[in-house]
């Protein structure tokens, strides 16, 4: 039976709509909500990127506060207040720390009935970022009792933020969901990517797909790659992500300090064909040093049936389980040994782990189930809070 009332007005505020895990989680959710039950609007603090265009293509309004990355602008607060008063959302859902703080202040000024935050990180090392990042989190922790709820995608994230002073009683587990039809084993992609790279069908390919950021620790991956080549000289490596380019001075310096045979290392930058790239890998590596909650790309690789070697950061171990291997962060020797072990698995063992990886994600985190749960959460919260659509 179709609803007889107007849909719930849900506004999402996020720091940016460039390619990233939080952005893709937002996209997957809003494009699956029943528009007769939930009417979504998305606001980006900076100019909308690729994910913003994907959302717009689905007929969902996307607006921007036109802020510049790294440059606080008090006028953005009043722009957001104006948007909130114009759209009159029943719920304001924010993503990532700076949007949480801005959304809280604007939501209070605009008298939004329900304000929710969404935490995607665990224990962050704020010494690697601007001082304002740590200050923002400190402020959010002290304001957290003023929001209706805090969605958290990982058990590690819940514990880490409770230790920072966030109100744990307001936290609700909301795991990431994964598109099982889009991310799947694909022999065609396995073959095509190898042809594009100019390597043989049987060549071993190890990949890391992550934006260039201290959290992701590309240095450890490069150090491990050098060690892997000493024991598995036939191996190739693929790196992709925003900022992972030779013309990025910081990344180029990492390459100079940790030289890997350029004939064995493919640097691809930001790509839009992530399912193809993941399905082409023999091993996926997540070398993050800190801060991961529930890494989206690990789930996507597992959905593609690719064994994962991940650092023990956030809930990575809970995701991978017995289907892959876990190592300590910032330990390139351990990482190299683990990747070498996976590369040495006999075909039957590899096939078993590959199937188990995909099944683990499908059974626990299929996006159809996760999006339906999230939609029900918003509708139930509005009803129990006395918000009338």
Q: What is the CATH number of the domain that holds 347?
A: 3.40.50.2000
Over range 281-286, report the average pLDDT: 99
Tokens encoding 192: 């095509």
Question: What is the predicted pLDDT for the residue at 2?
Answer: 53
- Residue numbers of the domain that contains 379: 8-177+366-384
The string of pLDDT tens digits covering residues 180-227 is: 999 999 999 999 999 999 999 999 999 999 999 999 999 999 999 999
Q: How far apart are CA 145 and CA 179, in angstroms?
A: 34
Is residue 13 located within the same domain as residue 99?
A: yes
Which residues make Cβ contacts (< 8 Å) with residue 188, sequence separation at least 6?
A: none
Give domain status of residue 191, yes or no: yes
Is residue 13 located within the same domain as residue 61?
A: yes
Over range 75-85, report the average pLDDT: 97
Element (H, E) at 297: helix 296-303
Domain count, the chain: 2
Give domain status of residue 182, yes or no: no
Over range 348-363, report the average pLDDT: 98
Q: How far apart are CA 63 and CA 66, in angstroms?
A: 9
The string of pLDDT tens digits covering residues 288-310 is: 999 999 999 999 999 999 999 99
The string of pLDDT tens digits covering residues 146-171 is: 999 999 999 999 999 999 999 999 99
Is residue 77 located within the same domain as residue 141?
A: yes
Q: Which of 64-73, 166-175, 275-284 has the lowest mean pLDDT?
A: 64-73
Question: What is the predicted pLDDT for the residue at 285?
Answer: 99
Is residue 330 located within the same domain as residue 275?
A: yes
Give domain status of residue 17, yes or no: yes
Is residue 16 located within the same domain as residue 107?
A: yes
HEC letters along 164-223: HCCCHHHEEECCCCECCCCCCCCHHHHHHHHHHHCCCCCCEEEEEECCCCHHHCHHHHHH
Q: How far apart are CA 366 and CA 329, in angstroms?
A: 28
Query: Rounded mean pLDDT of the chain?
Result: 96
Is residue 114 located within the same domain as residue 236?
A: no
Q: Do residues 159 and 278 touch, judged by C-beta distance below 8 A?
A: no
Is residue 117 located within the same domain as residue 249?
A: no
Q: How far apart are CA 145 and CA 147, in angstroms?
A: 6
Give domain status of residue 307, yes or no: yes
- Percent of the chain exceeding pLDDT 90 equals 92
Confidence (pTM): 0.93
Is residue 12 located within the same domain as residue 150?
A: yes
Give domain status of residue 31, yes or no: yes
Give domain status of residue 1, yes or no: no
Confidence of residue 4 (pLDDT cuts 50, 70, 90): low
Is residue 209 located within the same domain as residue 306?
A: yes
Q: Sheet holding 91-95: strands in order across? A: 62-67, 38-46, 8-14, 91-95, 114-119, 149-152, 171-173
Give domain status of residue 19, yes or no: yes
Question: What is the predicted pLDDT for the residue at 28?
Answer: 96
Nearest to 233 by CA among 274, 261, 270, 191: 261
Q: At what angle do helices 21-30 and 367-384 cross, to 10 degrees?
A: 70
* No. of helices (H) and no. of strands (E), the chain: 15, 13
Q: At what angle do helices 218-231 and 249-257 cross, to 10 degrees?
A: 30
CA angle 225, 231, 236 (to 5 degrees): 45
Question: What is the predicted pLDDT for the residue at 189?
Answer: 98
Is residue 341 located within the same domain as residue 377?
A: no
Tokens encoding 94: 């924010």
Does pLDDT of 1 surpass 60? Answer: no
Is residue 144 located within the same domain as residue 275?
A: no
Does pLDDT of 276 surpass 50? Answer: yes
Is residue 287 located within the same domain as residue 154?
A: no
Give domain status of residue 2, yes or no: no
């Amino acid at each position: 039976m179709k609803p007889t009332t107007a849909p719930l007005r849900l506004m999402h505020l996020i720091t940016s709509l460039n390619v990233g895990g939080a952005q893709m989680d937002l996209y997957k959710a809003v494009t699956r909500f029943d528009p007769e039950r939930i009417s979504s609007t998305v606001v980006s603090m900076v100019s909308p990127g690729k994910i913003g265009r994907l959302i717009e293509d689905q007929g969902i309004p996307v607006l921007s506060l036109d802020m510049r990355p790294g440059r606080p602008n008090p006028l953005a607060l009043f722009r957001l207040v104006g948007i909130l008063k114009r759209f009159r959302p029943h719920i304001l859902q924010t993503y990532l720390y700076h949007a949480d703080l801005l959304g809280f202040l604007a939501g209070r000024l605009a008298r939004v009935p329900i304000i929710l935050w969404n935490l995607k990180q665990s224990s962050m090392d704020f010494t690697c970022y601007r001082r304002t990042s740590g200050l923002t989190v400190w402020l959010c922790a002290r304001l957290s009792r003023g929001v209706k709820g805090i969605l958290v995608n990982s058990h590690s994230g819940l514990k880490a933020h409770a230790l920072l002073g966030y109100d744990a009683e307001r936290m609700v587990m909301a795991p990431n969901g994964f598109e099982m039809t889009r991310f799947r084993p694909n022999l065609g992609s396995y073959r095509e990517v190898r042809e594009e790279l100019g390597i043989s069908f049987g060549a071993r390919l190890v990949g890391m797909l992550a934006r260039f950021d201290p959290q992701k620790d590309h240095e450890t991956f490069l150090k491990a790659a050098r060690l892997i080549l000493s024991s598995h000289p036939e191996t190739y490596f693929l790196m992709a992500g925003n900022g992972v380019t030779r013309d990025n001075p910081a990344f180029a310096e990492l390459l100079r300090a940790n030289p890997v045979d350029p004939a064995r290392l493919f640097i691809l930058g930001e790509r839009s064909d992530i399912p193809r790239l993941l399905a082409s890998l023999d091993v996926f590596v997540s070398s993050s040093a800190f801060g991961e909650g529930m890494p989206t790309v690990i789930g996507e690789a597992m959905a593609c049936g690719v064994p994962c070697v991940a650092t023990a950061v956030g809930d990575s171990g809970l995701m991978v389980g017995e289907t892959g291997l876990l190592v300590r962060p910032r330990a390139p020797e351990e990482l190299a040994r683990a990747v070498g072990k996976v590369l040495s698995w006999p075909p039957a063992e590899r096939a078993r782990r590959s199937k188990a990886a995909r099944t683990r994600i499908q059974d626990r985190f299929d996006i159809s189930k996760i999006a339906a749960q999230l939609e029900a959460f918003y509708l139930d919260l509005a009803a129990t809070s006395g918000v009338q659509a």
